[in-house]
Structures are given as structure tokens and as C-alpha cells.
Amino acid sequence: MRRRNLHRLVGVFIAVAVAAAAALLWLAIVIQGPEVAEPSARHIVVGIWDVLYDAEAPSLWVILVAVAFALLLAAGVALLERRISNSSRRSAGRVTVPLAPRGIMEATRGTYAGPVTVTVVVPAHNEEASLPSTLESLLHQSHRPERIIVVADNCTDATVELAHRAGVDVFESVGNTKKKAGALNQVLSQILPDQGLNDVVMVMDADTRLDDGFLASAVRRFTEDRALMAVGGLFYGETGHGLIGQFQRNEYVRYAREMQRRRGRVFVLTGTASLFRPTALLTVAEQRGKTIPGRLGDVYDTAALTEDNELTIALKSLGGLMISPADCTVVTELMPSWRTLWAQRLRWQRGALENLGAYGVTPQTVRYWAQQLGIGYGVIALSSYLLLILLTVFALDAWVLFPFWLGVGLLFMLERMITVWKGGWRARLLALTLFPELLFDMFLNVVYVKGIIDISLGRTADWKHVVHAGPRASDEASS
């Protein structure tokens, strides 16, 4: 009950904080006094067209203050994150941060744990359509995993049969009612005790395909750094699904680009594919219910809606060193319809908020709090921008162009296009048109607001699972 109340407070706190920030900005503008709205539109003749334009722009002072504030905020968050990361690396506090690199290096000095081996765990619930390509990508890696285990969780289709046919091991969950996290806890409780220090475990979704070289790169990094506790992948969207698919591919390309600019510093160890040293997972299980949320003995917190985000925060809280290299990439499924996309993103949003409620405000969660507040402020900013455009369109008798704001819009279009350049010409063309992506962002903003409202009212969140009726062609979803 206490945890649920904290979750509700998270929603209220973020809503109030974002609304207060927006109100302060509005107040600061109002205090300057309303400027007299003198009509200042001018005519120019371009060929056969008579064009109205207004050269009025915000004062230089306002522009400079806005830019300085944005840079200061971004630099502050980045410096704080770096300071926390460095502090964890240097810490010798084995009680509070048992996975801190300094302590791990001291504990393993002079010990050779053998070559790095990889055991891949693939949780699957009725994944007969996507599992074959997932296993194929694993079996054709330049560094082939030593063992692959398909964790069949309450499957009623041919998932088990396909796994046996591919020649991999199968673990069938027993009496599991805790979804993916519960199934993973069952299999990890059996295999982790037999793993050595260098016998890393990879958790990979059954709807994901590894790009070649993923495992070779991850194994090399674990070999070179015995303090490294986890390696996460960067994910890209599969082909197909029309416009909604392209929206998601653009989004994933931008996310991967941002992670690369962070030089591998992990934001979330993605559930699509991440590797863990057994020490990391065993320590998490030992600390559940003590220094981190969850039930003692569980690797994954079964109360978390987004288990990958929660496990990332858990490892950071324990001082674990982790990276997301640019050469560890995967291709994952996309939501084929607006309905399934809504369900997926609502779960992600609720999960992120609930994890913050479970951990509270700590040095390791400051970055995640800043992200949620930033999204909330973005919701207000984008909504106000689109509303202003609509009001202008309906309030004026004729079109009036504003060169300053057109310039800002042009810069924004270039930014959108450059950030998806790696995604190919379809991605660039969609980004260049700008407004479709803005409307997609508004869709995500509505999901964000829904998540805030739901968590504040204490509504129960649902877990949705996409069912593939054929090879990546279904748009059916079921609970």
C-alpha cells in the first residue's frame, strides 16, 4: 500500500512541478507588460502573389536568456550524471555499492575466471512467428553463444516445438503469473548458481534479431574489463508497417544517436538484448528488499511494469559499471497499429513513473526525474505551439508570414532530418515534412498525460502482448 501511495505522489508531483514551471514562464512574460499589438504586416509582391509578412521578433535579450537557460540546464544534468558515475567508479563502499568497479577489481585481482562464455535466455510467450528469426540471428553470430535457452512462458502455440527443432534448450515456466519477469526469475534462479565470473548471461526478447558482431563486441568488452557488469544494445525498428512503422523507426534512430553521443553511458539496459555478469544479477537478488525494491531472491522486480528500466536503476544504485556500445545493435519489432502502440507506450510511461516512485529521489535517479519533467514541459510547449498556429490561422483574414519564426522552423526541420540521416531517404523525407512527426509527438504526449492521470488516480495498469498471426504481419493485440 505504501508503494502504491508513493506511485500516486509521483504523478501529482510531476504534474504540479511542470505546471508551476510553465506558470512561472507565463508570469515572467506577462510582467513585462502586454505589448501593443500594432498591425505591422507589410506587403511584398512575389511574381503574381501578394504576400503579407511581419518582421517582428522577440527581443535579443529574451532569445539570449532562453538559449542560456537551456544550455545551463542541459550542462547541469550532464555534469551531475558524470559526477555520479565517477563517484560510483571510485567508491570502495562494499556495503552500499557492492558492484562498484573499485571494489570488484580488488576482489578479483589475481584471479583468472577463464574465457568469457555466453548463455542466452530468450523469454517467449506465444512467439512462434518471430522466434525462428531470433534464434537464427543468434546461431549465425560470429561469436556463437555457448548455450541458448528459450523460456516458454504459458505458451499455447508452437513456440516449444520450434525451439526444439532449432536445437536449443527449452525451459517451461511453472505456475508463473508474473509475466516476463516471473518467468525470467524462475530460469535465472536455476542457472545463475552454476555460472562463473566470466559466464555472462544475455536476456533477449523473442521478437528481436541481433546484428552480426553484437556478441563478439560484448565478449571482447567483458574480457578487457573485469569490472564491467552489463552491456546493453542499441535497437532499431524492423521494416514495414507503413507510416506508423516509419514514425517508430525515426524515433529509434534518434534514440540510438543520442546514446552514441553519450559515449556508451547507459540510460536503459534495453530488454531487447542485454548481457549481464552473473555477479551483477546475484547481487541484485541479494539486495532486493534491503537496499533496493523488490522481493528478496528475485533478479527482476515482478511489480515493475518495465523490468528493464527497473533493473538498470537497480544496478546503478548498487554501483554497477555498464555500457551501451555503438557496435552492439539489434533490430526489434514495431507496433503495427495505433492501438498497440498506445498500449506499449502507456506501459512504458507508467513503468518509468512507478520505478521513480519505488526508488525516490537518489543521485542515480536524478537523470530519470529530469527526463520526466522535461517531457512534461515539452507537452506544454508543443501543445501551446500547435494551439497558437491554429488560433493564428482562424483569427486572421489573410496569411501573414513571420520570417523569424519561419527561420526557427527551418532550423527545426534541419535538426529533425539530420538526426535521422542514418535511417535512409524515407526517414529523412518524413522528418523534412515536420508536421506529421509533430502530430506523432502529440500522440506520445497524450500517452504521457494519460500515464500521469492514471498513476495519480491509482488506476491499475495492464500488460499488453502483441500476437503475430504471421511473419511480422499481424496487428492484433490481446491482453
What integer pLDDT is reported at residue 474 of this predicted model?
Answer: 43
What integer pLDDT is reported at residue 421 of this predicted model?
Answer: 93
Q: Measured between alpha carbons, how far is 230 from 280 in angstroms, rounded to an integer?
A: 8
What one-character DSSP code corresponds to residue 470?
S
Amino acid of residue 80: L
Name residue, grid cell 536524478: 366
With contact defined as beta carbons under 8 Å apart, do 136 and 144 qualify?
no
Q: Measured between alpha carbons, how far is 277 from 282 in angstroms, rounded to an integer?
A: 9
What integer pLDDT is reported at residue 477 of this predicted model?
Answer: 41
What integer pLDDT is reported at residue 32 of this predicted model?
Answer: 61
Q: Measured between alpha carbons, how far is 173 from 397 in angstroms, rounded to an integer?
A: 66
3-state secondary structure of 136: helix
- The residues of the chain scoring below 50 in pLDDT are 471-479
What integer pLDDT is reported at residue 303 of this predicted model?
Answer: 86
What integer pLDDT is reported at residue 92 of this predicted model?
Answer: 56
Using one digit for the tens of pLDDT, what is the confidence trace for 126-179?
Answer: 999 999 999 999 999 999 999 999 999 999 999 999 999 999 999 999 999 888
**Which cell goes with 400?**
501573414
Tally of CB atoms within 10 A around 215? 24
**Which cell goes with 318?**
548498487
Q: Measured between alpha carbons, how far is 379 from 375 in angstroms, rounded to an integer?
A: 6
What integer pLDDT is reported at residue 229 of this predicted model?
Answer: 95
**Which cell goes with 259?**
546514446
